[in-house]
Structure 1
Amino acid sequence: MTETLHEQAQGLRDYAEALDLSIGATVRAYGSGVRPAWVSEDIAMDTMLRDQALAEADRIEKSSSEPK
Structure 2
Amino acid sequence: MAEVKYEITKNLGVLSENAKGWIKELNLVSWNDRAPKYDIREWSPEHDRMGKGITLTQEELAELKSLLNNIDL
TM-score, normalised to structure 1's length? 0.26
User: Whose Rg is larger?
Assistant: 1
TM-score, normalised to structure 2's length? 0.24
Greater relative CO (CA pairs within 8 A, separation 6+): 1
